[in-house]
Structure 1
Amino acid sequence: MHIAQRGASQVVCQVLAGRNLSQTLSAALQATPGQIMPELTPQQRGALQDLSYGTLRFYGQLVRVLDQLLHKPVQDSQLRCLLLVALYQLLHTKAAPHAVVDHAVRAVRKCNAAAGGLANAVLRNFLRNREALLAVAATSEEGRYAYPQWWITAVQAQYGRYSEAILLAGNQHPPMTLRVNCRYINTADYLALLAQHDIQASLIEPDAVLLRYPLPVNKLPGFFDGLVSVQDAGAQYAARLLDVQDGMRVLDACAAPGGKTTHLLELAQLDLLALDKNSQRLELVRENLQRLQLHAQLQSGDAAQPDSWWDGKPFHRILADVPCSASGVVRRHPDIKWLRRPGDINGFAQQQLHILCALWQLLERDGKLLYVTCSIFARENQEVINEFLNQHDDGKQLPLSMPNLNEGQIFPNDQHDGFFYALLQKHA
């Protein structure tokens, strides 16, 4: 356990210094064994990931507990992160408390031999005074909800009485949802196939199957034969809202990793161009297409600068899944809470509007463009659409009829992440 604690503390330290969690964790798991970290067992790798994600998910709460336990600030960032990791285990996992403390002390001594006594005292003091410490931590909104205050304030201002449920949903473990490939199998038959393998699941959307317990993809029947893909139920709205028909020329403007691209191709025979600015991530689209035996043209390019890649032929449909704060998928990426800054939201909104205006030129008359973000902030969502429509008198926003959409916004809950959708049509 102490090895996973040490590894997680290193990951958390790097993320708090500004690094991306997924990249940092990937580097830690792939690192050559050496003096800092030995070779990890599969169990240790899983524990390292859980401790890294969990500590960042509840960082706002953990910091307020730890600050009460320390008589003076700890300058050693590695020690501080180790204590946060141990507090996460004591608060949010089923690990035996005495084992957590003992292993944490061992981990601390590996990094700072003189600090073992401090770690032991801090963690045992927490165990003795847990409820009182948590009560004090919860007197601040950051301690109660585990988000930075600016984020909490923005959600409260926008959603009022719904804000607490939205914030708490972002701290849950994300669900694992499959998209059944309707070209190969229907949902009823795939649910029966899961049952044959003793995998519990339920149908929650037309093509979306929610697993009761997450599984590695190699345990999913038919995954490598293209029967299913892993895709959040909220993300599955995109392909159906775009209203594609056989023979249409379609642009997926920010395509990687390819979930929405492949869903579109499962629904209709399309002349589809999958575009992405990142050529490396575009390879993920290629891999998904190959697994599902689907075809699309792949193009590396910036959606905001179509002159560098567009062939001049208009599109019947455009999917614009634009870069955003990712505030609606924060439970999958808890580092976002601590890496984003208030000014980032307006920056994203300006970028989104720029992309939307650039792509509008490529849409044929009477064509439709679906604007998508995985954000819950109105500044990136309806406000961008309003600004765009004020600048373009040849466009209108169409009503959306799918369930769970609140004026285009899907709130994160136990079945799906948070998304925003706006369907625009160009006047004929």
Structure 2
Amino acid sequence: MIASSTGAPGAQPRAVAAGVLDAVFLRGRSLRVELARRLPTLDDPRDRALVETLCFAVLRQPARYEAALAQWMAKPPGRRDGELKMLLFVGFAQLDPLGLPAHAAVASTVEAARVLGRRHQAGLVNALLRRAQREGLPTLPPDTDWPDWLRERIRGDWPALAGSIFAESIAPAPLWLRVNRQQGSREAYRERLAAAGISALPDPTLADALRVEGTLAVTALPGFTAGAVSVQDASAQAVADALAPPAGGRVLDACAAPGGKTAHLLERDPSLRMTALDVDPKRLEAVEGTLKRLQLRGDIRLMAVDAASAKDDWWSGQPFDAVLLDAPCSATGIVRRQPDVRLHRRESDITALVKLQARLLDVLWQKLAPGGVLLYATCSILKAENAAQVEAFLARTPDARVDPLAERFGHASGPGRQRLPGEGGGDGFFYARLLKAA
């Protein structure tokens, strides 16, 4: 429980970060959910940004901090002292890799122990952080924090590139923006950023993308509230290019929440007749909010539907010209953005996900018009979910063939293309473009 504090500035956000990490590490909670629940308790946006930064820094390489405690304490904190342990991790992360001024970092973290009601352990926190400052923290290989089964899968799928995958997955990701071309050009928005003191670089292969190094609150983006721009990774932006639906066509986004890809397609072509599904009505509200903020209107239907269900009472029977299946997956390609994936993912999850993906492919293929296109995409780097999944679908679907994608979509991987984490600054993503016989 967090008490009020009048001590060192910055103690409160460090205490909140320790609480978030305690929930993620020791109670199996989602980082995204915990941040959404706890960040509103902080009034200052700088404090909220600090909490996020601290949590991500800890989650990228927690084994380093575990090793430090094992070396320096006869009995490291256990589950009953989870907040204390996470507060120590927060302190370590400030020193390395964040490199915050040591005096302020230590003082604020010690005060955070008092905020957490652990005044009697403030001296221990101070001593351990001072030792980390003097001696430095252990350095471990970048694959250390991956569970054994997942590490071996990645090495088996990408033997020559596994080292790069592990290294890139612990590196902070750049901020990618997607300019809403219905409200202005990319270059015009880049000028708005420059006027606000924000430097951004256009991507040569993505027509709507701007890359910003470092972190930035969306509230600092000119015109964000009015819909001029969205935050979306480069690899996710490439989905619109890979699908490339016909102008004015009937398009189905089968797993649409939170709505970024639906919105991008409509920004490209407002004449599309769009149907967006999601199994979770609450998540579908996020799609509606996204479209409203971006001021996108037209022939758009949002429906709370399980796209994998054999029931199709939601469907008029008129086939779609294009189907986007951004399938539920292991999220192993976006660990740098969702580092708790490594904590929560289980090997049995992959078997269940592969079955679900296959069912989605089979059901949605029946909704596609002859001559239409289905884009199968995931944010996974596992071949079982990607190349092998599509190969199995092609083997059982006589009227399906591959429409090869260009090299800019990534490495050739069976019937599709695979981007790996960090390549081109983007996340790990798989794309396979499938055509239905006319």
Partner of 2:224: 223
2:430 corresponds to 1:420: yes
Partner of 1:281: 283
> Offset at 1:402?
5.1
* Distance of 2:124 and 2:143 partners within structure 1: 26
* Distance of 2:43 and 2:187 partners within structure 1: 40
Task: Write the deviation string for residues 125-169 of structure 1: whole angstroms up to 9, x where unpaired.
Answer: 323322xx524xx2x6654xx433333322222212321222221
> Offset at 1:337?
1.5
State the SS of the aligned residue for 1:369. strand
Task: Trace 1:68-147 onto structure 2 (pairs within 5 A).
Answer: 68-75=71-78, 76-109=81-114, 110-130=116-136, 134-135=138-139, 138=140, 142-143=143-144, 146-147=145-146
> Offset at 1:213?
4.4
Question: Is the Cα contact below 8 Å between 2:154 and 2:162 reproduced in 1?
Answer: yes
1:409 counterpart letter in structure 2: Q
Partner of 1:58: 61
State the SS of the aligned residue for 1:327. coil
* Distance of 2:38 and 2:228 partners within structure 1: 33
Partner of 2:7: none
> Offset at 1:365?
1.3
Question: Is the Cα contact below 8 Å between 2:11 and 2:111 reproduced in 1?
Answer: yes
State the SS of the aligned residue for 1:396. strand
State the SS of the aligned residue for 2:333. helix
Partner of 1:200: 199
TM-score (norm 2): 0.88
Task: Trace 1:168-187 onto structure 2 (pairs within 5 A).
Answer: 168-187=167-186
Task: Write the deviation string for residues 74-133 of structure 1: whole angstroms up to 9, x where unpaired.
Answer: 232222112111111121123222333333333335433443343333333323322xx5
* Distance of 1:165 and 1:56 partners within structure 2: 19
TM-score (norm 1): 0.90
> Offset at 1:175?
1.5
Runs (5+) with no aligned partner, structure 2 = 1-9
State the SS of the aligned residue for 2:275. strand
* Distance of 2:63 and 2:147 partners within structure 1: 7
Task: Trace 1:16-415 onto structure 2 (pairs within 5 A).
Answer: 16=25, 17-31=27-41, 41-75=44-78, 76-109=81-114, 110-130=116-136, 134-135=138-139, 138=140, 142-143=143-144, 146-204=145-203, 205-268=206-269, 269-294=271-296, 295=298, 296-305=300-309, 306-401=311-406, 403-407=408-412, 408-413=417-422, 415=425
Question: Is the Cα contact below 8 Å between 1:346 and 1:380 reproduced in 2?
Answer: no
1:378 counterpart letter in structure 2: K
1:126 counterpart letter in structure 2: A
Question: Is the Cα contact below 8 Å between 2:49 and 2:217 reproduced in 1?
Answer: no
State the SS of the aligned residue for 1:101. helix
State the SS of the aligned residue for 1:173. coil
* Distance of 1:311 and 1:317 partners within structure 2: 15
Range with greater deviation from structure 2 (175-184 or 416-425): 175-184
Cα 1:348–1:102 shift into 2, 3 Å = same
Q: How many residues in Structure 1 have an aligned counterpart in Structure 2?
A: 414
Cα 1:261–1:55 shift into 2, 3 Å = same
Partner of 1:34: none
> Offset at 1:185?
2.5
Question: Is the Cα contact below 8 Å between 2:245 and 2:373 reproduced in 1?
Answer: no
Cα 1:118–1:423 shift into 2, 3 Å = same
Cα 1:270–1:48 shift into 2, 3 Å = same
Question: Is the Cα contact below 8 Å between 1:349 and 1:384 reproduced in 2?
Answer: yes
Task: Write the deviation string for residues 181-212 of structure 1: whole angstroms up to 9, x where unpaired.
Answer: 33342323333333333321111122211123
Cα 1:179–1:400 shift into 2, 3 Å = same
Cα 1:292–1:5 shift into 2, 3 Å = closer
* Distance of 2:210 and 2:61 partners within structure 1: 28
Runs (5+) with no aligned partner, structure 1 = 32-38
Question: Is the Cα contact below 8 Å between 1:9 and 1:81 reproduced in 2?
Answer: yes
State the percentage of identical aligned residues.
38
> Offset at 1:411?
1.4
* Distance of 2:194 and 2:122 partners within structure 1: 50
Question: Is the Cα contact below 8 Å between 2:332 and 2:341 reproduced in 1?
Answer: yes
